């Protein structure tokens, strides 16, 4: 059994009251590690270390901060295979996906923000005879970073890299469900020469360790990615304390498919967008809206493609659909398939749990599932499931497609498939989503702002927006 440590003040250390939580490998259903069940006392130690480190780190030359972040990126690169295997084991995601997306992106997050901070600049406004105004942007101090289980290292580093680049020190908490790659990151930071206390990683449950971070009066800003329910709670707790907040939350994203789309490419994209990482990506398109004139043909081909996806051991290179992250999520997914049946849905593909043999006999596997016959207001089309479950619905007109796509409380992303140029611009502008992909899915330039509308997000991460979030602007006026 492996024991995960907290990373506080530059040292790997056990939790103060020596309590641990089991970490389960979702592909086997077996405990393979234990992770600190940290409490407020651990968060306090992390705060003290971060507070002590802040004056020196915030005054470290930008080039020197950037060089250390580049060293961390190099450390990720040098332990790439180990991280890929750890991520797949921890999360249940296919090895091939961790190799293609998650771990390279964690490395790139550090590279990107190491470079971006050297380009980040303050504004100056010339007022002629009166004088001039300039804006100073300074780091906040100690910030709190809280991330979910679905893209564990990718999203964790997406917060840590800009926070540190901007000169803050941090208390970061990964999901207790998938803590292992964050632990390996602590070792990488030690080896990269990150000064003590600049980054502190405290493991544990949300209502305990997470709650202590958001309530700590010395933590000036919180960057959170996770569910809308927890985001609401964080806003209610930290808002009255006037902490700066970035909340990236749930989604119920639409794929809007017009009959003029490139058929084969659309079929590939629809499968990828709905089922990558077992549908456990906040950006997955779980509501597939198809123009009626092509609906029957497209849905029949789509069902066949979904049926043919290979469910298997995530550690097997040929696996396309791995394990569901936890037993709780597995039960939730199955309950929504049952609900779909009760709401009058027709299961076109999947719909059942999968019992694998061998080492995966106790694992959490579900067939990728496609459901028809549910209207936009059904719970299955309104509530975020976060599993390998998508629905199909037909639309007749562009207006109807937009209305259906926008008919949920969420607004994270949307996929729009059409070859009609002006329709692409017109519809993209009307979709209530922070990100719209036209004729693709999940492609990102890290310089662009990232985040959701409506109940999917407050604020924007990514690019210079992240560096703006992690700094406080101050205007200075100088009399001529
Ligand atoms: P979650 O909200 O349950 O947990 C997220 C993190 O918050 C975890 O680290 C958890 O321990 C912590 N937490 C829980 N309660 C807390 C509290 N009271 N105080 C402080 N921290 C607390 O989410 P999850 O189940 O880990 O992840 C899935 C969710 O994340 C989905 O809703 C998904 O859409 C969302 N998500 C959103 C984005 C995005 O960019 N918008 C990206 C990935 C995932």
Distance 269 CA to ligand 1 centre (A): 26
Q: Does 224 have pLDDT greater than 90?
A: yes
Instruction: Report the atom number in ligand 1 closest to the C-alpha of 211.
Output: 19
Distance 249 CA to ligand 1 centre (A): 7
Going by pLDDT thresholds of 50, 70 and 90, the confidence category of residue 433 is very high
Q: Does 34 have pLDDT greater than 90?
A: yes
Going by pLDDT thresholds of 50, 70 and 90, the confidence category of residue 446 is very high
Residues 43 and 260: their CA atoms lie apart, in Å, by: 55
Q: What are phi and psi of 259, to 5 degrees?
A: -65, -20
Across 338-353, average pLDDT: 98
DSSP state of 311: B
Going by pLDDT thresholds of 50, 70 and 90, the confidence category of residue 194 is very high
Across 193-214, average pLDDT: 98
Question: Is 480 within 8 Å of 132 (Cβ atoms)?
Answer: yes
Residue positions annotated with a catalytic role: 248, 282
The average confidence (pLDDT) of the chain is 97
DSSP state of 358: G
Residues 412 and 150: their CA atoms lie apart, in Å, by: 16
Question: Is 250 within 8 Å of 410 (Cβ atoms)?
Answer: yes
Residue spans of beta strands (DSSP E) within 296-439: 346-349, 353-354, 365-366, 369-372, 389-395, 410-411, 413-417, 435-438
Shortest-distance Cα residue to atom 23 of ligand 1: 226
**Other residues' Cβ atoms within 10 Å of the Cβ of residue 193:** 11
Question: Is 412 within 8 Å of 287 (Cβ atoms)?
Answer: no
Instruction: Report pLDDT for 312.
Output: 98
Instruction: Report pLDDT for 36.
Output: 98
Shortest-distance Cα residue to atom 34 of ligand 1: 250
Instruction: Report pLDDT for 462.
Output: 84
Helix then strand then coil, % of the chain, to nearest 5 = 45, 25, 35
Distance of CA 383 to the CA centre of its chain: 18
Ligand 1 is surrounded, with C-beta below 6 A, by: 146-150, 155, 173, 175-176, 205-207, 210-211, 214, 225-227, 230, 233-234, 248-251, 282, 384, 386, 412, 452, 456-457
Q: Does 160 have pLDDT greater than 90?
A: yes
Instruction: Report the atom number in ligand 1 closest to the C-alpha of 226.
Output: 30
Q: Helix count (H) and strand count (E) of the chain?
A: 16, 25
Distance 228 CA to ligand 1 centre (A): 8
Distance 206 CA to ligand 1 centre (A): 9
How confident is the model over 58-101, as pLDDT tens digits?
999 999 999 999 999 999 999 999 999 999 999 999 999 999 99
Q: Does 461 have pLDDT greater than 90?
A: no
Shortest-distance Cα residue to atom 42 of ligand 1: 282
Going by pLDDT thresholds of 50, 70 and 90, the confidence category of residue 292 is very high
Residues 397 and 401: their CA atoms lie apart, in Å, by: 6
Q: Is the dihedral of CA 297, 303, 305, 308 positive or negative?
A: negative
Angle at 103 between CA 98 and CA 105, to 5 degrees: 115
**Mutation probe of ligand 1 site: the residue of 42, 230, 451, 465 with most atoms within 8 A of C-beta:** 230
Shortest-distance Cα residue to atom 43 of ligand 1: 282
Closest CA relative to residue 244, chosen from 409, 448, 406, 461: 461
Question: Is 102 within 8 Å of 288 (Cβ atoms)?
Answer: no
35, 100, 201 from 182: Cα distances, Å: 11, 19, 8
Instruction: Report pLDDT for 191.
Output: 98
DSSP state of 195: P
Full-model pTM: 0.97
Instruction: Report the atom number in ligand 1 closest to the C-alpha of 384.
Output: 32
Instruction: Report the atom number in ligand 1 closest to the C-alpha of 233.
Output: 18
Instruction: Report pLDDT for 12.
Output: 98
Q: Does 109 have pLDDT greater than 90?
A: yes
Angle at 340 between CA 335 and CA 343, to 5 degrees: 125
Name, in order, each residue with C-beta under 8 angstroms of 232's C-beta and a sequence gap of 6 or more: none
Going by pLDDT thresholds of 50, 70 and 90, the confidence category of residue 49 is very high
Residues 85 and 315: their CA atoms lie apart, in Å, by: 8
Shortest-distance Cα residue to atom 30 of ligand 1: 226
Distance 61 CA to ligand 1 centre (A): 34
DSSP β-ladder status, 346-349 and 369-372: antiparallel
Instruction: Report the atom number in ligand 1 closest to the C-alpha of 176.
Output: 11
CB crowding 31-64: b at 16 or more within 10 Å, else e: eebbbbbbbbebbbbbbbbbbebbeebbebeeee
Distance 3 CA to ligand 1 centre (A): 23
Question: Is 173 within 8 Å of 36 (Cβ atoms)?
Answer: no
Angle at 371 between CA 369 and CA 377, to 5 degrees: 130
Residues 149 and 155: their CA atoms lie apart, in Å, by: 9
How confident is the model over 416-431, as pLDDT tens digits?
999 999 999 999 999 9
Distance 328 CA to ligand 1 centre (A): 14
Instruction: Give the H or E element holding residue 427.
Output: helix 421-430
Shortest-distance Cα residue to atom 16 of ligand 1: 206
Shortest-distance Cα residue to atom 39 of ligand 1: 248
203, 226, 250, 363 from 327: Cα distances, Å: 20, 18, 20, 9
Length of the chain: 480
């Amino acid at each position: 059994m492996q024991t995960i440590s907290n990373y506080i003040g530059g040292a790997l250390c056990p939790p103060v009251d020596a309590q641990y939580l089991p970490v389960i490998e979702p592909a086997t259903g077996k405990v393979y590690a234990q992770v600190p069940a940290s409490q407020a006392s651990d968060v306090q130690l992390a705060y003290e270390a971060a507070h002590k480190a802040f004056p020196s780190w915030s005054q470290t030359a930008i080039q020197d901060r950037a060089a250390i972040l580049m060293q961390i990126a190099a450390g990720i690169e040098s332990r790439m295979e180990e991280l890929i295997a750890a991520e797949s084991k921890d999360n249940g995601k296919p090895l091939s996906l961790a190799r293609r997306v998650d771990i390279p992106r964690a490395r790139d997050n550090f590279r990107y923000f190491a470079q971006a901070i050297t380009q980040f600049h303050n504004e100056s406004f010339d007022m002629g005879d009166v004088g001039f105004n300039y804006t100073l942007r300074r780091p906040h101090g100690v910030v709190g970073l809280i991330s979910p289980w679905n893209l564990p290292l990718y999203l964790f580093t997406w917060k840590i890299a800009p926070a540190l680049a901007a000169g803050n020190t941090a208390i970061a908490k990964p999901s207790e469900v998938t803590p292992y790659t964050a632990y390996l990151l602590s070792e990488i930071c030690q080896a990269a020469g990150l000064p003590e206390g600049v980054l502190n990683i405290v493991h544990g449950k949300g209502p305990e360790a997470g709650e202590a971070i958001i309530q700590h009066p010395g933590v000036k800003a919180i960057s959170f990615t996770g569910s809308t329910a927890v985001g609401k709670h964080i806003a209610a707790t930290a808002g009255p304390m006037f902490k700066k907040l970035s909340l990236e939350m749930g989604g119920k994203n639409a794929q809007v498919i017009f009959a003029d789309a490139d058929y084969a490419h659309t079929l590939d994209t629809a499968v990828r967008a709905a089922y990558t990482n077992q549908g456990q990506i906040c950006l997955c398109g779980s509501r597939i809206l198809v123009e009626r004139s092509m609906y029957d043909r497209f849905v029949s081909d789509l069902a066949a493609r979904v049926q043919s996806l290979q469910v298997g051991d995530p550690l097997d290179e040929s696996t396309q659909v791995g394990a569901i992250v936890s037993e709780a999520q597995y039960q939730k997914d199955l309950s929504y398939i049952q609900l779909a049946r009760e709401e009058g849905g027709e299961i076109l593909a999947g719909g059942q749990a999968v019992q694998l043999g061998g080492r995966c006999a106790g694992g959490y596997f579900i067939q990728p599932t496609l459901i028809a016959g549910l209207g936009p207001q059904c719970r299955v089309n309104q509530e975020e499931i976060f599993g390998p479950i998508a629905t199909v619905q037909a639309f007749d007109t562009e207006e109807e497609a937009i209305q259906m796509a926008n008919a949920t409380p969420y607004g994270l992303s949307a996929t729009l498939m059409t070859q009609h140029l002006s329709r692409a611009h017109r519809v993209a502008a009307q979709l209530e989503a922070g990100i719209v992909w036209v004729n693709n899915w999940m492609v990102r330039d890290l310089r662009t702002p990232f985040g959701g509308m409506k109940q999917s997000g407050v604020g924007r991460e990514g690019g210079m927006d992240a560096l703006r979030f992690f700094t406080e602007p101050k205007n200075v006026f100088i009399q001529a």
